[in-house]
Amino acid sequence: MMYPFLTLTDETEIVHSEMKPDGQVKVYIERPDEKDGFHHASCFLPSYRWEDVSGFSKEEISHYQEILESTAHLILRFSQNGGFENAASL
């Protein structure tokens, strides 16, 4: 299951998975594109390992890396509690 986390002003959506038994959380980023349909990428926390990057430039991935570095503590916590919507106890 993927949980919504953040929508940026350019319509980029950031969602995350539940925490896996090995402690990893998959963060999926996608943005609509008129020409290509969607640009997308996956990043695995806490190692910040990027996979399946399609349509995003290196500069864009660097920007998303900064966003994830500043919010990873929240994503990791939300991933253990059913996402942001179920994080009332935080």
For 16-72, the pLDDT digits (tens) are 999 999 999 999 999 999 888 999 999 999 999 999 999 999 999 999 999 999 999
Range of the domain at 16: 2-85
Q: For residue 60, give the H/E element and its range.
A: helix 58-78
For residue 12, is it within any domain?
A: yes
Peptide bond into 46 cis (omega under 30): yes
pLDDT of residue 83: 76
The count of structural domains within the chain is: 1
The DSSP bridge pattern shows strands 2-7 and 13-17 to be antiparallel
85 — phi, psi (to 5°)? Answer: -60, -25
pLDDT of residue 82: 77
pTM assigned to the model: 0.90
DSSP 1: -
For residue 32, is it within any domain?
A: yes
For residue 90, is it within any domain?
A: no
For residue 23, is it within any domain?
A: yes
